[in-house]
Amino acid sequence: MTATIVLDPTNDLVEQAKRVLPGGSLGNMPAEVILREGKAGRVWDEAGREYVDFLLGSGPMFIGHAHPEVTAAVQAQVPLGTTLFGNNRHGIALAEAVVDAIPCADQVRFVCTGTEADLYAMRAARAFRRRDKILKFEGGYHGMSDYALMSLAPKKPGNFPRPSPDSAGIPKSVQDEMLVAAFNDLEMTESLIKEHKNELAGVIVEPFQRLIPPAPGFLQGLRRITAEHGIPLIFDEVVTGFRFAYGGAQEYYGVTPDLCTLGKIVGGGFALAAIAGRADIMAHFDKLEVPEEDFLFQVGTLSGNPVAAVAGLATLEVLKRPGTYEQVFATGRTLMAALSDLLENAGIKAQVIGEPPLFDVVFTDHPIRDYRDTLRGDKAMATRFNQLLRARGLMKGESKYYVSLAHTQADIDLTIAAWTEAIAELKG
């Protein structure tokens, strides 16, 4: 009997990728991670290996991969045209859905990426205030623009409020336009806002910073001090929008900003993001509503295209159904509790942080309140743990477990079994 030889195409693809892509990747995951397909809460790589998927395309696939209702909506639209540049009824309907859902949203402007949304939100605040400086928080991720890549992940954090660039190619002058504070430090933030109130155009914050929940009263205090000085508060909800609640983190935490940015879930897995907010600020996108010098010029070839819009609308229809968020939160709570118990029983110094739809483990027993606290975590152990998990059929990024509506009890059971084995090996 001749043994069947199964050829793994991954090696050839990795070599091909290394020839044509810098670093052999699209810039997101390691070169050897080449995924072929996704269905519900699972993905398969090019070798046919199956994984429980906690990557979820970096978050957009909140209701699962290839959801039949999203797929049907897209398939119905594609023969009618994929992009039209002019207005289309689906983009208008999606804007209406966002206005209905998001507390701060009077109007919406669509773009294609979270980076664009955050960049334009900061620009809108500058146009509105006629000031230049933006205050952000160390460790906060707001996309890939020059302004956003200030103190996202500084290796050697400097002195507040001076930021440090995270990438080559950023003009030194950008440092002069950004101020940086510590997340969850309301005293520091309030002091900086008071000191620079006449220079500040706005404050941008992830209401849930990467994996770190806001401390009690932090967002409320931030809302109070910005409102007191008439400074627009921007919530970056590219990750949290429609994930923590149908109305986003602003509904979940009970704090309404002046502007917010949305992405990931709102496009149903297609390239779509948005800026939403107060009508008087959003008016700067309309040249008929503001003086010429205050007009914010914005054009995007694919912005609000009908394919992405119908995918977003179909996704939001699913999310509006009773029990949706209760199911996601129940799954997340079960997973977080199981991982915490396994680590504690193994005697490993670690803590599971985040919220049920989005969490991870940090290998330290030190409290985590801001970016600098995360630096205390054992990164080598975290990397090793992720490697052990991938070998056991779990797909996740460097950080974050994204929980989806599509994750089943079988997915939970497989995940806990993988954790159990990996933690035993990690301890040994």
Model confidence over 172-214: pLDDT tens digits?
999 999 999 999 999 999 999 999 999 999 999 999 999 999 9
Asked if the structure places residue 58 within a domain, the reply is no
pLDDT at 1: 40
Confidence at 370, pLDDT banded by 50, 70, 90: very high
Confidence at 8, pLDDT banded by 50, 70, 90: low
The answer to whether the Cα torsion of 178, 183, 188, 190 is positive or negative is positive
How many helices (H) and strands (E) the chain has is answered by 13, 14
- 201 and 330 assigned to the same domain: no
Asked if the structure places residue 189 within a domain, the reply is yes
Asked if the structure places residue 148 within a domain, the reply is yes
- Taking residues 77-90, report their average pLDDT: 96
CATH number, residue 212: 3.40.640.10
* Strand 259-262, strand 273-277: pairing: antiparallel
pLDDT digits over 284-341, tens only?
Answer: 999 999 999 999 999 999 999 999 999 999 999 999 999 999 999 999 999 999 999 9
The answer to whether the Cα torsion of 126, 280, 298, 260 is positive or negative is positive
Asked if the structure places residue 56 within a domain, the reply is no
Neighbouring CB atoms inside 10 A of 36's CB total 13
- 340 and 227 assigned to the same domain: no
- 77 and 153 assigned to the same domain: yes
Whether the per-residue pLDDT at 5 is higher than 60: the answer is: no
- 402 and 263 assigned to the same domain: no
pLDDT at 2: 43
CA–CA gap between residue 24 and residue 235 (Å, rounded): 34
Burial of 192 (0-12, 13-18, 19+ CB in 10 A): buried
- 255 and 395 assigned to the same domain: no
* Strand 50-53, strand 394-395: pairing: parallel
**End-to-end CA distance of the chain, in Å?**
40
Asked if the structure places residue 298 within a domain, the reply is yes
- 145 and 204 assigned to the same domain: yes
Asked if the structure places residue 2 within a domain, the reply is no
Confidence at 158, pLDDT banded by 50, 70, 90: confident
Which residue type sits at 279? A
Neighbouring CB atoms inside 10 A of 53's CB total 26
133-137: strand order across its sheet: 107-111, 273-277, 259-262, 233-237, 200-205, 133-137, 178-181
pLDDT at 79: 97
- 136 and 82 assigned to the same domain: yes
- 295 and 398 assigned to the same domain: no
Instruction: Give the relative orientation of helices 379-391 and 409-427 as an angle to the nearest 10 degrees.
Output: 130
- Taking residues 338-346, report their average pLDDT: 98
Per residue in 266-288, is it b (16+ CB within 10 Å) or e — as a string? bbbbbbbbbbbbbeebbbbbeee
More confident residue, 228 or 428: 228
Structure tokens at 76: 């119905």
Asked if the structure places residue 401 within a domain, the reply is yes
Instruction: Give the relative orientation of helices 89-101 and 306-319 as an angle to the nearest 10 degrees.
Output: 40
CA proximity to 54, closest of 327, 357, 384, 385 = 357
CA proximity to 371, closest of 196, 197, 156 = 156
Contact 59, 206 (CB under 8 A): no
* Strand 107-111, strand 273-277: pairing: antiparallel
CA proximity to 116, closest of 92, 137, 143 = 143
Q: State the catalytic residues.
A: 141, 236, 264
pLDDT at 6: 44
What stretches of 319-395 adopt beta strand conformation (E)? 351-355, 358-362, 394-395
- 223 and 155 assigned to the same domain: yes
- 312 and 400 assigned to the same domain: no
Domain that holds residue 337: 324-347+378-407
- 291 and 400 assigned to the same domain: no
- 277 and 336 assigned to the same domain: no
pLDDT digits over 159-175, tens only?
Answer: 899 999 999 999 999 99
Q: Which residues pair with 204 in a beta bridge?
A: 234
pLDDT at 259: 98
CA proximity to 242, closest of 251, 233, 254 = 251
Among 319, 337, 356, identify where a domain stops.
319
Question: SS3 for 169?
Answer: coil
Whether the per-residue pLDDT at 237 is higher than 50: the answer is: yes
Structure tokens at 290: 């503001």
Asked if the structure places residue 372 within a domain, the reply is no
The number of distinct structural domains making up the chain is 2
pLDDT at 139: 96
